[in-house]
């Protein structure tokens, strides 16, 4: 069923990521009326030097 691809800056703790995926899974199941086994979440950690907004790297 739903698969979420989430990109975050590096540095989140395992506890923060665990809380995040639990919250996303819960709201997805409630909203889409599906079981948690059908919700996939892929977290990709990105270095600030590889992310830019408005023409400026976040590492600067």
Residues noted as catalytic? 2
- Cα–Cα distance, 19 to 36 (Å, whole number): 14
Strand partners for 53: 56
């Amino acid at each position: 069923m739903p698969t979420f691809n989430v990109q975050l800056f590096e540095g989140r703790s395992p506890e923060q990521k665990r809380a995040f995926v639990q919250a996303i899974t819960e709201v997805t199941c409630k909203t889409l009326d599906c079981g948690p086994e059908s919700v996939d979440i892929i977290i990709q950690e990105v270095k600030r030097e590889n992310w830019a907004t408005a023409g400026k790297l976040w590492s600067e």
